[in-house]
């Protein structure tokens, strides 16, 4: 058995994967990002500081070998800024970056912002979709190997020629003269980035597989969540990569038989940013209360997150498409102090009850969630949280234990971690 764990989001992202990965990274040798780009935002509280990471794997905070694998799209400027930020905080990232990862260019960001105005997916505007589109299109993409190689100038010039129409259409350039100025300025800017990044570029597939061969502990850190997966999410209201556990295999170049554990991270309630269906959304004071108590504002864009009750239909679906072996429940503390807590156990569609996920976003838009009401529990202080974490799950208020048991029995996935506060020591290991 290989010593490997995939950590993915079981909802629409922002489940608190950063904290869980940071926690598990203590025992890891290598931490790998395998999908998405700097649309992700992972917040970690450690060593008395708060880290907001977008592209570098959370394991960096523990001085682990961190890998950005082939499935990721990388904005070089964001990567450089993050490396420099970490250096200022006293961390020298032990980072390798896949030669096959794709580069997010300036025009991708402009295209993203402009097209989202009409397509209304509510993207993060970071150029993620356009960069993955170019990857799938094959003729206009730039991989890290191209980017740091000798032929970059020539390749970029050719790509810009074939993108001229779109550059004009989206107002990136306005004329032939302007086109040449744009080309020159891009070349100048990105050559500097390439010089900075060159020493980090490796064959990461080999590095990861060798680590597994040597019996090292490898942690795969997912970004976004199951329902944002381009194949298995609420399409088209999804991101452009595979956020599910299988994405770790394609996005890092490891065989499925080398993955030992799959941990699904889920909040004790549900949030979503951007557009798309969300059956248990609370568009009332209760939703506002969850947002305030849980500080539910995007790490990347600052947008208020849409909030609602926990949805077990979604959790069961996440179990299926990811092959979850364990659950990590986060932000249980946010529910503290509520008199009653609702959980969605099934959907009503056209008068019929089902606990299966509908296959289209349109259908999901029209389901009526069926709730079960459970008793709430009193708030605990930060100090009490540390004490509860030390003593284990039995130290939680009875009703909180009942809530967790209910999730476990309905989802059929054992809970192995419960986070009851933002700090490292506010974590219960079951």
Residue 326 burial by CB count (10 A; 0-12/13-18/19+): exposed, middle or buried? middle
Q: What is the DSSP letter of 104?
A: P
Tokens of 278: 């969300």
Rounded to an integer, what distance in angstroms lies between the CA atom of residue 305 and that of residue 288?
10
* Nearer Cβ to ligand IMP (111/403): 111
Kindly report the number of other CB atoms within 10 A of residue 205's CB atom.
17
Footprint of ligand IMP on residues 245-284 (CB under 6 A)?
Answer: 273-274
Instruction: Note whether 357 and 367 are within 8 A (CB).
Output: no
Q: Which does 273 bind (CB under 5 to 8 A by kind): ligand IMP, Mg ion, none?
A: ligand IMP
User: Is residue 396 a contact residue for ligand IMP (CB under 6 A)?
Assistant: no
Binder to ligand IMP among 4, 43, 239, 411 (CB under 6 A)? 239
Instruction: Note whether 108 and 131 are within 8 A (CB).
Output: yes
Kindly report the number of other CB atoms within 10 A of residue 92's CB atom.
10
Stretch that binds ligand IMP, among 80-88, 186-194, 232-240, 249-257 (CB under 6 A): 232-240
Quick one: which of 126, 13, 5, 113 has its CA closest to 73? Answer: 126
Binder to Mg ion among 14, 22, 311, 426 (CB under 5 A)? 14
Binder to ligand IMP among 35, 39, 217, 266 (CB under 6 A)? 39
Confirm whether 42 is a catalytic residue: yes
From residue 40 to residue 79, the character string flagging contacts with Mg ion as x (rule: CB under 5 A) and all else as - is -x--------------------------------------
* Nearer Cβ to ligand IMP (3/229): 229
Which residue is closest to ligand IMP by CB?
274
Strands (E) located in 334-403: 340-349, 352-354, 368-375
Footprint of Mg ion on residues 292-311 (CB under 5 A)?
Answer: 299
Instruction: Write out the DSSP string of 140-191.
Output: S--BHHHHHSTTHHHHHHHHHHHHHHHHHHTTS--SHHHHHHHHHHHHHHHH
Active-site residue (options: 3, 22, 29, 42): 42
Confirm whether 14 is a catalytic residue: yes
Binder to ligand IMP among 8, 56, 128, 265 (CB under 6 A)? 128
* Nearer Cβ to ligand IMP (13/247): 13
Binder to ligand IMP among 7, 104, 228, 338 (CB under 6 A)? 228
Quick one: which of 170, 337, 207 has its CA closest to 268? Answer: 337
Binder to ligand IMP among 38, 70, 224, 419 (CB under 6 A)? 224
Kindly report the number of other CB atoms within 10 A of residue 161's CB atom.
12
* Nearer Cβ to ligand IMP (133/366): 133
- What is the smallest separation between the CB atom of 125 and ligand IMP, expressed in angstroms? 7
* Nearer Cβ to ligand IMP (209/300): 300
**How many chain residues are in contact with ligand IMP, going by CB under 6 A?**
21
Q: Which does 121 bind (CB under 5 to 8 A by kind): Mg ion, ligand IMP, none?
A: ligand IMP
Q: Which does 220 bind (CB under 5 to 8 A by kind): Mg ion, ligand IMP, none?
A: none
50-54: list long-range contacts, CB under 8 Å, 24+ apart.
51/89, 52/299, 53/18, 53/82, 54/78, 54/82, 54/299, 54/300
User: Is residue 55 a contact residue for ligand IMP (CB under 6 A)?
Assistant: no
Q: Which does 57 bind (CB under 5 to 8 A by kind): Mg ion, ligand IMP, none?
A: none
* Nearer Cβ to ligand IMP (225/421): 225
* Nearer Cβ to ligand IMP (62/126): 126
- What is the smallest separation between the CB atom of 249 and Mg ion, expressed in angstroms? 23
Rounded to an integer, what distance in angstroms lies between the CA atom of residue 200 and that of residue 282?
45
User: Is residue 38 a contact residue for ligand IMP (CB under 6 A)?
Assistant: no
Quick one: which of 244, 187, 37 has its CA closest to 125? Answer: 37
Question: 3-state class of 407 per DSSP?
Answer: helix
Beta pairing, strands 306-308 & 270-272: antiparallel
Q: Which does 130 bind (CB under 5 to 8 A by kind): ligand IMP, Mg ion, none?
A: none
**Residues with Cβ < 8 Å from 305, sequence gap 6 or more?**
14, 271, 272, 273, 291, 296, 297, 298
- What is the smallest separation between the CB atom of 92 and Mg ion, expressed in angstroms? 25
From residue 7 to residue 36, the character string flagging contacts with ligand IMP as x (rule: CB under 6 A) and all else as - is -----xxx----------------------
Instruction: Note whether 282 and 296 are within 8 A (CB).
Output: no
Q: What is the DSSP letter of 256?
A: G
The contact set with ligand IMP (CB under 6 A) reads 12-14, 39-41, 121-124, 126, 128-129, 223-224, 228, 237, 239-240, 273-274
The contact set with Mg ion (CB under 5 A) reads 14, 41, 299
- Catalogue the active-site residues: 14, 42
């Amino acid at each position: 058995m290989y010593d490997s764990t995939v950590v993915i989001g079981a909802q629409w992202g922002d489940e608190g994967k950063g904290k869980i990965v940071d926690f598990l990274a203590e025992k890891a040798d290598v931490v790998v990002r395998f999908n998405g780009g700097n649309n992700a935002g992972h917040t970690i509280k450690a060593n008395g500081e708060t880290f907001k990471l977008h592209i570098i794997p959370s394991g960096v905070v523990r001085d682990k070998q961190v890998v950005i694998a082939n499935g990721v799209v990388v904005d070089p400027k964001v990567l450089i800024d993050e490396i420099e930020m970490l250096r200022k905080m006293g961390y020298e990232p032990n980072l390798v970056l896949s030669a096959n990862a794709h580069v997010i260019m300036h025009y991708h960001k402009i295209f993203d912002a402009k097209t989202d105005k009409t397509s209304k997916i509510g993207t993060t505007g970071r150029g993620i979709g356009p960069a993955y589109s170019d990857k799938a299109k094959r003729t206009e993409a730039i991989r890290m190997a191209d980017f740091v190689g000798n032929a970059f100038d020539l390749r970029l010039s050719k790509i810009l020629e074939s993108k001229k129409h779109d550059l004009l259409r989206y107002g990136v350039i306005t004329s032939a003269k302007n086109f040449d100025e744009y080309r020159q300025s891009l070349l100048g800017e990105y050559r500097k980035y390439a010089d900075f990044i060159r020493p980090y570029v490796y064959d990461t597939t080999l590095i990861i597989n060798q680590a597994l061969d040597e019996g090292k502990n490898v942690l795969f850190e997912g970004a976004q969540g199951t329902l944002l997966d381009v194949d298995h999410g609420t399409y088209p209201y999804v991101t452009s990569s595979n956020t599910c556990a299988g994405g770790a295999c394609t996005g890092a170049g490891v065989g499925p038989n080398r993955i030992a554990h799959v941990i699904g991270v889920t909040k004790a309630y549900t949030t979503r940013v951007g557009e798309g269906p969300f059956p248990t959304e609370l568009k009332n004071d209760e939703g506002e209360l969850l947002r305030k108590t849980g500080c539910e504002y995007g790490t990347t864009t600052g947008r208020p997150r849409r909030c609602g009750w926990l949805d077990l239909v979604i959790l069961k679906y996440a179990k299926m498409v990811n092959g979850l072996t364990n659950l990590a429940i986060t932000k249980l503390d946010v529910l503290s102090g509520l008199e009653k807590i609702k959980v969605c156990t099934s959907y009503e569609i056209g008068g019929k009850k089902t606990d299966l996920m509908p296959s289209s976003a349109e259908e999901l838009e029209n389901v009526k969630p069926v709730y079960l009401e459970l008793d709430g529990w009193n708030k605990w202080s930060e100090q009490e949280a540390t004490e509860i974490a030390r003593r284990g799950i039995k130290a939680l208020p009875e009703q909180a234990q009942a809530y967790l048991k209910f999730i476990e029995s309905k989802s059929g996935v054992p809970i192995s971690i419960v986070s009851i506060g933002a700090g490292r020591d506010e974590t219960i290991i079951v």
